[in-house]
Amino acid sequence: MNRRVLRRAAVPVAALSLVLTACGGQDEGSGGTGDGGSSDGGSSDSESLSGEIVTDGSSTVQPLTQVAGELFKEEQPDVNVSVGTSGTGGGFEKFCIGDTDISNASRPIDEEDEVPVCKKNGIEFTELQVATDALTVVVSSENDFVECLTTEELATMWAPEAEKKVTTWDQVNPDFPSEPLELFGPGTDSGTFDYFTDEINGEEGASRADYNASEDDNTIVQGVSGSPNAIGYFGFSYFEENSDSLKALEIDSGDGCVAPSAEAAQDGSYTPLARPLFVYPATSAVEDKPQVAAFLDFYAANNAEIAEAAKFIPLNEDQTTELQDMTSELTGS
């Protein structure tokens, strides 16, 4: 335990000196004098490690693990971290045959299709939630008739039955003008699409097909900001980077309109579009490779900074405690 406290104290100093100072980091409360803020980021309390850490999986979670890898390299320059983006499913496929040490996932592992493969190959794993994403429904900042949508209205708009039928805004809600409805969204290979359709339309993958689909979220940004009648959805960070040309809609799931924000996603009021993001370390990798264990400790201890730098919503206090407890149990530190 002592070791972890020490590391917790030393690491944020190193990490913060790297993360933009402008972020106004709020997490150095753990205090301890540590061994001072040496700018080289080296920490004297842990032995120097080497070897590889291989991760793959969701392209949504990739920035998070990449940032963790970048910051970890400051502390352990000889550890080689690599991150792939085969998608959540593709990542688990490699993970369950033992190709990767850690799998990034924007949804939990599938009990029916994926877990049995892992079992067959003797791969044990732990599910760790490392951040939260708020799927954000956006319109152009020129749009002046909509501020808030209920989940039913979203379903009316995106349901498979709406295809070729719901084509104007007043069909969604009579209060809206009879302007054409221009829909933009991620393509069917995306975890974001899976999550949105599951939560809004009640079934994963169930969506109308006559919308402008793109795997590149920047295309959705351009499409939506180009027309006052357009609407689309994607991860929170793409809205944050484009908040001057886009307007995020509030979502009403029955308890009033809630705007997407870090606070609303953390306290659970932004439902149902706040989603957890996971990493799955393989138990064998943690046990056999000290660099993987150290990386996970680092990931858990610096979770807030990592999430912030990767532009995700950090975990709330309970979730952070859970992550750190699960990690220390796993790595035995």
Q: Which residues bind other proteins (CB under 8 A)?
A: 18-20, 52, 54, 56, 59, 62-63, 65-67, 69-71, 73, 80-86, 90, 94, 99, 216-218, 221, 237-238, 240-242, 309-311
Minimum distance from CB of 11 to other proteins (Å)?
Answer: 14
Q: Which residues sit opposite 56 in a β-bridge?
A: 103
Residue with smaller CB distance to other proteins, 52 or 113: 52
Q: CB–CB of 101/79 below 8 Å?
A: no
The answer to whether 330 and 300 have CB atoms below 8 angstroms apart is no
Q: Which is nearer to other proteins, 170 or 241 (CB)?
A: 241
d(CA 39, CA 244): 35
DSSP 117-146: HHHHTT--B--EEEEEEE-EEEEETT--S-
Least distance between other proteins and beta carbon 245 (Å): 12
Terminal Cα-to-Cα distance of the chain (whole angstroms): 7
143 contacts 236 by C-beta, under 8 angstroms: no
25 or 272: whose CB is closer to other proteins?
25
Give least dist CB 117 to other proteins, A: 13
Q: Which is nearer to other proteins, 4 or 311 (CB)?
A: 311
Q: What are phi and psi of 255, to 5 degrees?
A: -115, 30
Nearer to other proteins among residue 153 and residue 297 (C-beta): 297
To other proteins, the closest distance from the beta carbon of 192 in angstroms equals 13
Q: How far is the CB of 33 from other proteins (least distance, A)?
A: 25
Closer by beta carbon to other proteins, 24 or else 332: 24
Q: Which is nearer to other proteins, 63 or 281 (CB)?
A: 63
| Contact status, residue 313 vs residue 132, Cβ threshold 8 Å | yes
Q: Are 270 and 264 in contact (CB under 8 A)?
A: yes
User: What separation in angstroms does the CA of 55 have from each of 125, 191, 259?
Assistant: 14, 17, 33
* β-pair partners for 232: 138, 184
Q: What are the b/e assignments for 116-129, b being 16+ CB within 10 Å?
A: ebbeeeebebbebb
Q: In angstroms, give the least distance from the CB of 72 to other proteins.
A: 9
Q: Which is nearer to other proteins, 15 or 323 (CB)?
A: 15
282 closest CA partner among 331, 325, 332: 331
Q: Token digits for 60?
A: 């949504």
In the complex, minimum distance from the CB of residue 283 to other proteins, in angstroms, rounded to a whole number? 20
Q: State the nearest-atom distance from the C-beta of 67 to other proteins, in Å.
A: 5
